[in-house]
Amino acid sequence: MIAAFLQAVVNGALAGSVLALPALGFNTVYAVLRFPNFAVAGLATIGAYAGWVANALWGWPAPAAILAAFVAGGAAGALCDAAALKPLRPLGALAAAIGSVALNIVLENAVRFAFGNNPRGYDLPVFRDWRFGAIGIGPQEVEDAAIALLAMAAVFLLLRTTRIGKAMRAVSDNATLAESKGIDPVRVAWAANILGLGLCGIGGMLVALDTSLDPLTGFRVLLSIFAAAVVGGLGSIPGAVAGAFVVGIGEELSTLVVAPTYRTAMGFLAILIVLSFRPRGLLGERAY
């Protein structure tokens, strides 16, 4: 029983580690632009395909493929935002959010048009789990968790130490005040999008490595990403990572008591409970 409990926690943490990076990207964008960008699903998919092209077609090693995923997600995301979502933002967060749903439909189908629906595989090995007694841990997912934590630290440092990072924080805290201090909101928006959506691109590749790479790769985890970001606190950088682990572990623990098909339902119950006590998420809405 204790082994089963521990294994569920481990499995949940592994599932959470896959969600953490796209959730982090989602919250980075939210922190600065103050709207939920649902196009992260399509952008994660685009990142995953970019990584696939780099790795499987061009033979690049994993780190280079991850970089390709970042560049593709960030570039495509920032450009799409400038073209489609930026004009909607003055109308309110909701208009931009709904626009991002429509944008996501466009992106998903652009990928489908170009690559078809058949699943693709990276030219990367699959490793057996490490076994610690009765508990198994996947090296791939540990790597995902490490990348997510590294990315979180990097974003944290970037916000803390660089000029553009400080500008992003200022906008996040109070956009009007920041503008009056001479911070260019357009530049900050570009920076936030490239950073956040680039991270979504990497996240998409990690999700694809763990699940399957097809035009729905990002969409399948969209609800979980949104849930993780909301639970952690919208716009909170550490909150995104914490939220991902809460959602992942909550869902897995529930399989000890209810049928596994109800796992998602239990995940939402956990979200409801968390939000009932902390209506602004675990860590609130400040960037950090």
Partner 1 sequence: MRVTVSRRSALAGSLALPFLARTGFAANAIPLGAINPLTGAGGAYGPSMAKVAEALVARINRTGGVLGRPIALDVEDDQTNPTVGVEAAHKLIDVGKVVAIVGTWASAVTTAVAPLCWQSRTMLFTVSGADSITRLPHHGYIIRTQPNTHLQSGRAAGFLLQHESKRVFGLSAQTPFAVDSWSRLKEVLAKGGATGIGDIIYDPKQTSFRSEIDKALAAKPDTLFLNSYAPDLEILLRETYQAGFNGKRFTFAYAATDAVLKALPAGVTNGLWSFAPSPDVTSPAYKAVQAILGISDPDPYSCQIYDHVALVALAIAKAGVASGVAIHDNVRKISQGPGQKVSDPVAGLKLLAAGKEINYDGASGPCHFTPIGDILNCKFLFQVVENQHNKTLFIS
Partner 2 sequence: MLDYLVSLSVFAGLYALLALGLNLVWGLGGMVNLGLAGFYSIGAYVSALAALHLHLALPLAALLAALLAGAAGAALAVVTSRLKGDYLAIVTLGFAEVIQLIAANEIWLTNGTDGLSAIPAPGRGKLSPFHFDLAAAATVWIVLALIALGLVRLSRASYGRVLRAIREDETVARVAGKRVLAFKIGAFAVGAAVMGLAGSLYAAYDGYVAPDSFDVLVTVLVVLALTAGGVGNMAGAVLGSALVVALTEGTRFLGGLLPGLSALQVASLRQGAIGFFLLLLLRLRPQGILPERMRVHRLDG
φ and ψ of 132, to 5 deg: -120, 90
Please state the separation of Cα 150 from the chain's center in Å.
Answer: 14
Q: Which entry of partner 2, partner 1, none binds 125, CB below 5 to 8 A by partner kind?
A: partner 1
227 part of the interface to partner 2, by CB under 8 A: yes
3-class secondary structure, 114: helix
Give 89 or 220: the residue with its C-beta nearer to partner 1: 220
106 part of the interface to partner 2, by CB under 8 A: yes
CA distance 182 to 172: 15
Q: Which entry of partner 2, partner 1, none binds 106, CB below 5 to 8 A by partner kind?
A: partner 2
CA distance 13 to 241: 11
Taken in order 136, 139, 140, 142, the sign of the CA dihedral is positive
Q: Which entry of partner 2, partner 1, none binds 102, CB below 5 to 8 A by partner kind?
A: partner 2
Structure tokens, 247: 């959602």
H or E segment to which residue 135 belongs: strand 135-137
Contacts with partner 1, residue ranges (CB under 8 A): 4, 7-8, 11, 14-15, 18, 109, 112, 116-121, 125-129, 131, 136, 138, 140, 207, 210-216, 220-221, 224, 252, 255, 259-261, 263-264
Give 33 or 240: the residue with its C-beta nearer to partner 1: 240
CA distance 29 to 86: 12
How many residues does this entry show for the chain? Answer: 288
Give 115 or 156: the residue with its C-beta nearer to partner 1: 115
Q: Are 45 and 221 in contact (CB under 8 A)?
A: no
Quote the least distance from Cβ 275 to partner 2, whole Å: 6
Q: Which entry of partner 1, partner 2, none binds 210, CB below 5 to 8 A by partner kind?
A: partner 1
DSSP 259: -
Give 120 or 286: the residue with its C-beta nearer to partner 1: 120
What is the pattern of x (binds partner 2, CB under 8 A) and - over residues 192-221?
A: -----------------------x------
Quote the least distance from Cβ 221 to partner 2, whole Å: 13
H or E segment to which residue 132 belongs: strand 130-132
- 21: closest CA among 48, 56, 55, 60? 48
Give 8 or 93: the residue with its C-beta nearer to partner 2: 93
H or E segment to which residue 234 belongs: none
Chain positions 33 to 72 lying near partner 2, rule: CB under 8 A, are 36
Q: Which entry of partner 1, partner 2, none binds 94, CB below 5 to 8 A by partner kind?
A: partner 2
Quote the least distance from Cβ 279 to partner 2, whole Å: 5
CA distance 103 to 100: 5
Chain positions 234 to 253 lying near partner 2, rule: CB under 8 A, are 234
Neighbouring CB atoms inside 10 A of 141's CB total 21
Specify the stretch interacting with partner 2 by CB under 8 A; choose among 7-15, 63-71, 205-213, 262-270: 262-270
